[in-house]
Structure 1
């Protein structure tokens, strides 16, 4: 079978996301503060997630604008609370306050910029900070790959240092375990799989693996540096003589920096028809970070992942997804 035929065969198959969504639908929907849902994509995505039983939205933004928008789209929002906020900056702050007060258990990005929402989240006095670095994970359903891939960090931390990467990895491991997926195999990616002092990411990869050996990172199997091919392909790892429980079987891919992660995620999306659900971790609650380009399935999956993680934290038990 040609490569083109294989891609065509898998194009419409996203069983991994469908499974996550179905598990989430069997659980109680959680109150979710939606910051500034003031364009068609964000408002429709919010209502569709609510109608699927994944969230109970609290719409935070200019009341009149949201009401007029819903009417023009013929969407009924009469069942949902609206918290009036004059503009996107105020909407971000008020949405965060709803979480701080316990009225909302999830936070969701609407049509405001990600930086605006995350700035409110990271505020030292009024935000949702914890002792952990805030980071982003793309939970990717790649139709031509047998496993769900977690890519981190491709959206928040631009050039993380060693200790930031420690938190980025721990956040992703905790997410993987919280979804009931077991103990993840974590690949620390670089351009090569050998230590090279001229490539700083290889030195950091080695240090991170030793940190895991010493208990500074827990709950996952780490290896690195690994190039992308020998992280996900057993055959590539075999050809290069890499003996590792992670090589060729990685489920979490830790990228050197935001640029590398963003390019990797978008390559998978546009060349392999992958969906990329987005979630921000390290804050008091999971944060649903959607993109204007996300399709319905991806938006649903982002909500499902956040919801399952929140339920896992409630019970201190992993959700079997």
Structure 2
């Protein structure tokens, strides 16, 4: 098996740096920032704006936004604001800005994720599409050569097979928007063989067959695979697994939210990885950031949203033509 390479300081964030550079070359993304009422969320939006990634619209109670800006010594004088009375209204008005064409993406401020997503999935006023909404972490692991997409670790708790099909397709679409040379999807389980006693292995096999039949497109799908033989060629060779994905996966699809959350946090806290978060499957990208995220991670999340929105615009134009 491959021995992990020690983290080199000059390799930290290099994958994110490339994403940010690519996004800066695009037109600024118009982003409705829902309830940026603390220094962290407000600062993240302004930093992304200063870097040329986004054009923020601050949606929230004016007094609270002003207080957050004053506490952090941030200048919001030239930034458009949409006044609300509370966080619930902030989520609703941010979504409304997208629906009326005044914003191209959403960004979570200091409100709870469930509150924002509740407005997104509202049947009559939300941003639903035919696709299941899911979350992806785009992870920059310093000791790993390629960026890794981990899904779903934040939205779908225990997805059924049909929902997993959407989760896989969302992740492939994201990988293609980020210019992955080839999206290689590993459907993870605790083992690499189909075992009737382990439901995730059966679903993995079904997803592979769905890809064979064109129900999932745009990437190479294999599973079940254990984590080691999904990302390490030596482990795959020891198990005699012959596959274009085994040992080379750049998309990791976990069995459920618990597994995904633990995988992402293990990579973050034990391997020094950064985890940019994005929600897919709605009409527009949704930037999810955490108070614990670094500045680089927050900027990378905005860059990912910008690149995804651009890919969606190109795809829409192609269909119209």
TM-score (norm 2): 0.96
How big is each residue's C-alpha offset from its partner over 1:116-144, in whole Å with a ceiling of 9 and x where there is no partner? 10110000100000000000000000000
Report the alpha carbon displacement of residue 25 of structure 1 after superposing the two structures with TM: 1.0
User: Which residue in 2 is equivalent to 1:252?
Assistant: 251
- Do the aligned residues in 2 keep the contact of 1:186 with 1:250 (CA within 8 Å)? yes
Q: Quick one: structure 1 residues 11 and 203, their matched pair in 2 at CA, closer, same or farther if it must change by over 3 Å?
A: farther
> How has the CA–CA distance of structure 1 residues 194 and 306 changed in structure 2, closer, same or farther, with 3 Å as cutoff?
same
Partner of 2:68, secondary structure, is helix
Matched with 2:84 is 85
**How many Å apart are 1:4 and its aligned residue?**
11
Matched length: 316
After superposition, the C-alpha distances for 1:244-298 in whole angstroms (9 at most, x for unaligned) are 1100000100000000000000000001100000000000000000111000000
Cα RMSD, aligned residues only: 1.6
For residues 100-130 of structure 1, give each alpha carbon's deviation from its aligned partner in whole angstroms, at most 9, with x where no partner exists: 0000001000011111101100001000000
1:224 aligned counterpart, secondary structure: strand
| Residue in 1 that maps onto 2:286 | 287
Deviation of 1:13 after TM superposition, in Å, equals 2.0
Q: Distance in 1 between matches of 2:3 and 2:108?
A: 36
Counterpart residue number, 1:58: 57
Contact 1:7 1:272 in 2 (8 A): no
Q: How far, CA to CA, are the matches of 1:88 and 1:115 in structure 2?
A: 11
Match of 2:150 in 1: 151
CA distance, structure 1, for counterparts of residue 230 and residue 127 of structure 2: 34
Query: Residues 7 and 143 of structure 2 are in contact (CA less than 8 Å); yes or no, is this contact kept in structure 1?
Result: no
Distance in 1, Cα, partners of 2:94 & 2:79: 15
Provide the C-alpha distance between the structure 1 equivalents of 2:151 and 2:14, rounded to a whole number of angstroms.
22
Residue 211, structure 1, aligned to residue 204, structure 2: no
Answer whether contact 2:138 2:276 (CA < 8 A) is retained: yes
The unaligned stretches of length 5 or more in structure 2 are 317-321
Q: How does 1:1-321 map to 2 (within 5 A)?
A: 6-10=5-9, 13-316=12-315
Cα pair 2:7 2:142 within 8 Å, conserved: no
The runs of 5 or more residues in structure 1 that have no matched partner are: none
Name the SS of the counterpart of 1:316 in structure 2. helix
TM-score by length of 1: 0.96
Distance in 2 (CA, whole Å) between partners of 1:210 and 1:76 is 54
Return the offset for 1:27: 1.4
